């Protein structure tokens, strides 16, 4: 059951703050990650990191298709194709036709792609520590839980 908010809670200030903050937070986190990747000499964008994270953590299973990754990352077809093509050029993934269908591809990590996970994970931890600077472990868990609930409401 959806809870109805009173007019005292939902003000124009809150609406504006949420709109501005949600965009700024996403952009700021991307900048932090770009800086961390650059400092540690990792040739990766936040978008590529998102795709690789889905593969490293098997978010979409053992043999994900390009379409499954697109859905999991909320990327459109042309964007995911470009991202995967670049990851393939870096020899981090390979794509193979699904059941002889040239329009559908499985996406698999290469050994190089698998090996990169530990290095990227360490860099990601550094970046996220700066994002959550001053937060207790409980506050980090609460923030992630709350953002997860917001996201679930949007699906």
* Model confidence at 7: pLDDT above 80: no
Confidence of residue 8 (pLDDT cuts 50, 70, 90): low
As a whole-number percent, the residues of the chain with pLDDT over 70 amount to: 92
For residues 123-139, give the mean pLDDT. 92
Note the pLDDT of residue 150: 84
For residues 6-33, give the mean pLDDT. 79
Confidence of residue 121 (pLDDT cuts 50, 70, 90): very high
Domains and CATH numbers, the chain: 12-150 (1.10.10.10)
CA distances for 3 relative to 43, 146, 154, angstroms:
45, 16, 16
Note the pLDDT of residue 97: 82
Do the strands 101-109 and 93-98 form a parallel or antiparallel pair, or are they unpaired? antiparallel
Please, are residues 66 and 104 in contact by the beta-carbon 8 Å criterion? yes
Tell me the CB-side half-sphere exposure of residue 45, using CA atoms within 13 A.
9
Structure tokens, 48: 């590529």
pTM for this structure?
0.81
In whole numbers, what is the pLDDT of the chain averaged over residues?
Answer: 88
Confidence of residue 83 (pLDDT cuts 50, 70, 90): very high
């Amino acid at each position: 059951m959806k809870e109805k908010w009173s007019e005292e809670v939902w003000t124009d200030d809150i609406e504006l703050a949420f709109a501005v903050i949600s965009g700024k937070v996403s952009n700021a986190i991307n900048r932090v990650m770009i800086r961390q990747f650059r400092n540690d000499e990792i040739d990766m964008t936040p978008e590529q990191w998102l795709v690789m994270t889905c593969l490293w953590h098997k978010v979409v299973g053992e043999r994900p298709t390009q379409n499954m990754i697109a859905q999991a990352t909320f990327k459109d077809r042309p964007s995911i194709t470009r991202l995967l093509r670049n990851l393939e050029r870096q020899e981090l993934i390979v794509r193979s036709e699904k059941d002889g269908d040239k329009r559908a591809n499985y996406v698999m990590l290469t050994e190089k792609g698998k090996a990169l996970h530990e290095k990227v994970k360490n860099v990601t931890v550094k970046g996220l520590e700066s994002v959550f600077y001053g937060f207790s472990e409980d506050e980090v868990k609460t923030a992630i839980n709350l953002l997860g609930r917001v996201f679930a409401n949007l699906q």
